[in-house]
Amino acid sequence: MPSFLCIPITVHDLAPALTDAQAAKDAGADLIEWRIDEAFSGSDDEHELRLIKQLVADSPLPCIVTCRPTWEGGGYDGDDDARVSLFEALGTADTPPRYIDVELAAYSRSANLKQKINLAVEHPKQVRDLNTSLILSAHDFGGRPMDLTRRIAAMRAEPAASVLKIAYRARSLRDNLELFDLIAESDRPMIALGMGEFGLASRVLASKFGGFLTFASLHQQKTTAPGQTTIRELLDVYRFRSIGLRTRVYGVVGWPVAHSIGPIVHNAGFEAVGHDGVYLPLPVAGGEGDDGYTSFKATIGELIDYPRLDLCGLSVTIPHKENLLRFGQEMGWEIDPTAAAIGAANTLAVERDDKGAIVHARVVNTDVTAAVSCLTEAMGGDLKGKHVGVLGAGGVARAVVYGMANAGAQVTVFNRSLQRAEALVDAISSALGEHVKLEAQPLAAAGKSACDAYINCTPLGMNGGPGPEQSPISIEDIGNRTDATIVFDTVYNPVETPLLAAAREARLRIVDGVEMFVHQASEQFALWTGSQAPSGLFERVAREALGTK
Ligand code: NAP
């Protein structure tokens, strides 16, 4: 059965809460969770009780009533007896809530309290005709509870609980897998969600694993738990309603990845070609020395081996491109010769049989062909004999220099650290053979050089980078170019960097980072789906997301 989509609404006053609930219904939600922690004080206030009863009666969708105490991360600091009296009153009201949520810790604290709650909800031994069911819940905002197994066993031992709920802060992507296992093993409907950035998969994939519901916020400002997505994002980007048991999972692995435009682009593509897939941000922390590889291998290895996840493809970005290649080599997967020559890869394509077993896995670098295609299109012909200046000597520069030299261009690598530029030139020369024309120069020499094209592979000009206002070639030197010069920036956020703005001003031909992103994403998409990527759509949604339509 598909999972419900529930919007939690923090209640202060009746009218705004109902307005939000109507907006949630209009946006496509199935359930409302009234968070009354701050509207109910626990004092004997008739006005509060009337407001809450009215809220439930006027709720435009079936509702859960939750009065979360401060000791479980909520806002209610009154006593438990008052809460239970409220639940009794609601359970027997003319219009009762569909569910009440009570924490396991409160429920198991006293036999008297448990008995009162049991009298207010429907369950196998209930003698009265009631329509409210009990969600028994446990939360940990700090991490995976040490006593998780004990808590789950304690919940399962309660026959009056119709739905079980566990939510804790996920510390790694691997925590999602344990949450999926809990749902699979549960003897009744279960909500199992990871909080924080690492828990997104458990929220988006609830339907794939049979979770009872997932929560989403109405707006970014109205989240009630860390890592909650908005309903728009869940429905429009992740296409929550189309996710089912057989949906294949893809994602972008990196650190950080929360702001990647990959999910917007690839999910739109899956929808356009009718591919049953979903693409998620998959954060995997880096680390010094071998630590980054160890965490990449442990996390990605476990996700790939978890058969019910159907992980079929990854985009891999900073700082894990070398780690993907190394992992693929250790696993004995097919390694694309270009990725092997460069020492880095950005794509994993996994083919599985009907039972989810891996049939074939391939590690590829699509940055190389993307950069070459972008420049070839801008030049209007092949790159043989053209002089290309590559600015930077890091990971992206490596792919770009390899691609340009392999396509027959003469390449000068300009870099802040000349030594690193020389090392890159040596590495690519030995990979491609001494016949390629490569040289190294300090970055400062780029301005007075005379190349047919310049490709920025430094983070200068990038939002959040070391010099968002800076250009790797001075604006004045850009202005002195002939108008046949092409200026290509791999940075795509912002789309128009200071370097590209200067080039536009000087009427030079421009290639921006979105074009390269779309090319490399299109090749990944084709590898995963077997369908040609809707590149026009990719470009449109990427530019919309980056704010330049
Ligand atoms: P990287 O490996 O860290 O390399 C960074 C390079 O930039 C190094 O050569 C470094 O020079 C240079 N650099 C860094 N800060 C500098 C500064 N303040 N002044 C001058 N030079 C500086 O990074 P990367 O993985 O190659 O990524 C570079 C950029 O490519 C990213 O910022 C990203 O925006 C872009 N990118 C675009 C796409 C796309 O699809 N469009 C894909 C991937 C990446 P030193 O050697 O002297 O330190």
> pLDDT by residue for the chain (549 residues), tens digit each?
789 999 999 999 999 999 999 999 999 999 999 999 999 998 878 899 999 999 999 999 999 999 999 999 999 999 999 999 999 999 989 999 999 999 999 999 999 999 999 999 999 988 888 899 999 999 999 999 999 999 999 999 999 999 999 999 999 999 999 999 999 999 999 999 999 999 999 999 999 999 999 999 998 777 777 778 999 999 999 999 999 999 999 999 999 998 899 999 999 999 999 999 999 999 999 888 788 999 999 999 999 999 899 999 999 999 999 999 999 999 999 999 999 999 999 999 999 999 999 999 999 999 999 999 999 999 999 999 999 999 999 989 999 999 999 999 999 999 999 999 999 999 999 999 878 999 999 999 999 999 999 999 999 999 999 999 999 999 999 988 887 899 999 999 999 999 999 999 999 999 999 999 999 999 999 999 999 999 999 999 999 999 865
Largest CA distance in the chain: 89
Cα distances from 233 to residues 21, 200, 263, 541, 543, in angstroms, run: 18, 12, 10, 14, 17
Tell me what pLDDT residue 548 has. 64
Residue 90, ligand 1, Cβ within 6 A: no
Which residues 6+ apart lie within 8 Å of 54 measured at CB?
A: 14
Residue 343, ligand 1, Cβ within 6 A: no
Residue 466, ligand 1, Cβ within 6 A: yes
Residue 462, ligand 1, Cβ within 6 A: yes
Tell me what pLDDT residue 46 has. 87
- The single residue of 367, 452, 489, 512 carrying the catalytic annotation is 367
Residue nearest to atom 34 of ligand 1 (CA): 491
> Which atom of ligand 1 is least distant from the CA of 391?
9
- Is 25 a catalytic site residue? no
Alpha helices in 9-110 (DSSP H): 14-27, 46-58, 80-91, 104-107
Cα distances from 137 to residues 103, 284, 311, 448, 463, in angstroms, run: 5, 29, 30, 67, 41
Residue 520, ligand 1, Cβ within 6 A: yes
Residue 365, ligand 1, Cβ within 6 A: no
Alpha carbon dihedral 399, 402, 404, 410, in 10-degree steps, equals 140
Residue nearest to atom 32 of ligand 1 (CA): 459
CA–CA separation, 205 and 200 (whole Å): 8
Tell me what pLDDT residue 174 has. 97
Tell me what pLDDT residue 132 has. 96
> Which atom of ligand 1 is least distant from the CA of 519?
40
Residue 490, ligand 1, Cβ within 6 A: yes
Structure tokens given for 315: 């985009």
Tell me what pLDDT residue 1 has. 78
- Is 367 a catalytic site residue? yes
- The single residue of 20, 80, 101, 165 carrying the catalytic annotation is 165
CA–CA separation, 413 and 455 (whole Å): 10
Strand, helix or coil for residue 243: coil
> Which residue of 413, 416, 425 sits with most ligand 1 atoms within 8 Å of its CB, as the best mutation to test the pocket?
416
CA of 397 to the centre of ligand 1 (A): 8
Residue 394, ligand 1, Cβ within 6 A: yes
Residue nearest to atom 43 of ligand 1 (CA): 396
pTM metric for this prediction = 0.95
Tell me what pLDDT residue 220 has. 78
Is residue 192 a contact partner of residue 220, using CB atoms and an 8 Å limit?
no
Residue nearest to atom 25 of ligand 1 (CA): 395
- The strand order across the sheet containing 63-66 reads 190-195, 161-169, 133-140, 99-103, 63-66, 31-35, 4-10, 213-215
- The single residue of 53, 101, 139, 489 carrying the catalytic annotation is 139
Which residues 6+ apart lie within 8 Å of 159 measured at CB?
A: 123, 124, 125
Tell me what pLDDT residue 227 has. 77
- The single residue of 208, 321, 386, 519 carrying the catalytic annotation is 321
- Is 139 a catalytic site residue? yes
Strand, helix or coil for residue 136: strand
Q: β-pairing, 311-316 with 347-352?
A: antiparallel
Task: Give the dihedral sign, CA 399/402/403/409.
Answer: positive
- Is 165 a catalytic site residue? yes
